[in-house]
Amino acid sequence: MSPIPEWEASLHHHPLAVDAEEIKSFFFKQTLDHFNYNPESYTTFPQRYLINFKYWGGANSSAPIFAYLGAEAPIDNFPNSIGFLTDNAASCNALLIYIEHRYYGKSVPFGSREEALKNASTIGYFNSAQALADYAAVLKHIKNTLHAQNSPVIVIGGSYGGMLASWFRLKYPHLAIGALASSAPILYFDNITPQNGYYSVVTRDYREASETCYKTILQSWSEIHRVASQPNGLVTLSKRFNTCHLLKQPDELINFLRLMYGYGAQYNEPPKYPVNVICGGIDGASLGSDILSKIYAGVVALKGNTTCTVNGPTNESETTVGWRWQTCSEMVIPIGIGNDTMFEPNPFNLKRVLENISDSIVAVHTVNGSHCLDLLRANQSDPEWLVKQRKEEMKIIKRWIAQYYADLHALKDNPKFHTK
């Protein structure tokens, strides 16, 4: 859900597995403003979507459509990274669609990102309500173009995209019969979820991995401040942590470590398990190492012996720029740090739906899961609980599809609905 710094991309990387020739790219002439009737509202922009026809049973068989709703990133890598769709498309004869979120990738209004993000009059159309209406328009267009009006649609998304998938099912129930919302923090808003919850969960992950690792991290913050307060203390810290540039303040190092620990927990997935890697480095430091040496050993364990760490080149990605706007303007998700954590006072489990709300709104919860892990491609290193989770999700989806077909068949057999 949060933007991932470039060096963290490896935490969530999976090898290419989809033949590029299977993926067809299209553009839809999208309306800029779906809700107002000002002259500029009728402006259009090209919205990109990708389709994989390989597994589809065709419109004549009313074969289903799995639509992945893009989030805060371009869609180029989605066909490979969201392996859950391709893993299960064949068993359902499903058409796979990936729709890009407005203002990301090639789906940018006003001709360029610079123009689109220039001021309030152009960036004001950058919100989730407009994005949901975009997805509705694209799906209607695709179904009409393919003569697939009777094909049921399942919308799928992860994190912010999972929020969009759940909201789409609520807002446009006539277009989607179901939604899979993976790691969707739909309850993480003010006065609903404790703002200190995220880092409490992160702390729990590290403490469960290693008590000594947890204690070392807890003690490290005061040690960083102590060293920084000494003459040439920032120089000392810069050398000890092999920073790319001389530290100007200790917060640069503290923020780097806090994000590293946070994303390690958020994407603590097999087979790497970053939390175990970090704690293995900290606990495995040479005998006699002081606290900061142990912490740096954890950094090296995760990142490897790179040229430098901390405050490296800042090439902000589309995700960083776009998501910054969204979290400041609409997706205001309060994340604080309480006294019950391993961090200085100042992941997403607590703001997800963890219990069934009804027979049709089902929570598939696993104790050891990491962020959006169930949407990734299955592989031999997957633990049994993850295999079971994916099977349970597909069991639910197939039940929705079966019910849709039963209702469709009953409708066709009802003479009241026949036309001459």
- By residue range, what is the domain housing residue 199? 194-348
Domain boundary among 348, 367, 401: 348
| Burial readout 300-338 (b: 16 or more C-beta within 10 A, e: otherwise) | bbbbeeeeebbbbeeeebbbbebbebbbeeebebebebe
Does a structural domain hold residue 249? Answer: yes
Distances (CA, A) of 387 to 230, 266, 378, 399: 52, 19, 8, 18
Answer whether 4's CB lies under 8 Å from 160's CB: no
Locate 128 and state its tokens. 């989730």
The confidence score (pLDDT) of residue 404 equals 92
162 and 213 assigned to the same domain: no
Residue 15 confidence (pLDDT)? 52
- From 327, 348, 369, the end of a domain falls on 348
Q: Rounded to the nearest 5 degrees, what angle is found at the Cα of 204, between the Cα atoms of 199 and 206?
A: 95
Please check whether residues 379 and 299 belong to one and the same domain. Answer: no
**One domain, residues 294 and 371:** no
**pLDDT number for residue 349:** 46
Q: Sign (positive/negative) of CA torsion 260, 266, 267, 273?
A: positive
Average pLDDT over residues 128-152: 98
- If asked whether residues 33 and 178 sit together in one domain, one would say yes
270 Cβ contact partners less than 8 Å away, ≥ 6 residues apart:
381, 382, 383, 386
Based on the fold, state whether residues 360 and 302 are members of the same structural domain.
no
CATH number at residue 198: 1.20.120.980
Whether the CB-CB separation of 204 and 179 falls below 8 Å is answered with no
pLDDT of 230-283, one tens digit each?
999 999 999 999 999 999 999 999 999 999 999 899 989 888 899 999 999 999
What is the model's pLDDT at position 342? 94
Query: At 4, which amino acid appears?
Result: I
In a domain, 128, yes or no: yes
- The average pLDDT across 387-395 equals 91
Q: How far is CA 287 from the centre of its chain?
A: 39
* Residue 55 shares a structural domain with residue 182: yes
Q: What pLDDT digit, counting tens, does each position of 28-43 carry?
A: 999 999 999 888 888 9
pLDDT of residue 313: 73
- Given pLDDT bands bounded at 50, 70 and 90, which one contains residue 11? very low
pLDDT recorded at residue 417: 61
- Closest Cα partner for 326 from 164, 166, 171, 170? 164
In a domain, 1, yes or no: no
Number of domains in the chain: 2
Indicate if the pLDDT at residue 352 is higher than 60. no
For residue 297, give the amino acid letter. A
For residues 198 and 182, state if they share a domain: no
What is the rounded distance in angstroms from the CA atom of residue 281 to the CA atom of residue 234? 24
Considering the domain architecture, whether residues 261 and 410 belong to the same structural domain is answered as: no
- How far is residue 394 CA from its own chain's centroid? 20
Burial class (CB in 10 A: 0-12, 13-18, 19+), 353: middle
Write out the E strands in 138-177.
153-158
Tokens of 162: 């999972």
Domain end point (choices 298, 313, 348): 348
Instruction: Summarize the confidence of residues 365-388 as an average pLDDT.
Output: 82
Neighbouring-strand partners of residue 178: 154
Residues 166 and 119 in one domain: yes
290 and 404, same domain (yes or no)? no
Q: Rounded to whole angstroms, how far apart are CA atoms 323 and 195? A: 19
Residue range 200-207: mean pLDDT, rounded: 94
Residue 416 confidence class, pLDDT cut points 50, 70, 90: low
User: Tell me, what CATH number does 79's domain have?
Assistant: 3.40.50.1820
pLDDT reported for residue 82: 92
- Cα–Cα distance measured from residue 346 to residue 334, given in angstroms and rounded to the nearest whole number: 13
Residues near 25 by beta carbon (within 8 Å), at least 6 away in sequence: 48, 49, 50
75 in a domain, yes or no?
yes
Q: Does residue 302 lie within any of the structural domains? A: yes
Domain annotation covers residue 226 = yes
Same domain flag for 57 and 182 = yes
Task: Check whether 10 has a pLDDT greater than 50.
Answer: no
pLDDT digits (tens, 9 = 90+) for 38-67: 888 889 999 999 999 999 999 999 999 999
Q: Picking from 9-23, 233-247, 302-316, 400-414, which range would have the lowest pLDDT averaged per residue?
A: 9-23
| Structure tokens belonging to residue 270 | 């097999």
b/e 181-195 (16+ beta carbons within 10 angstroms → b): bbbbbbebeeeebee
Regarding whether 394 and 373 lie in a shared domain, the answer is yes
Could you tell me whether strands 95-99 and 153-158 are parallel, antiparallel, or unpaired per DSSP bridges? unpaired
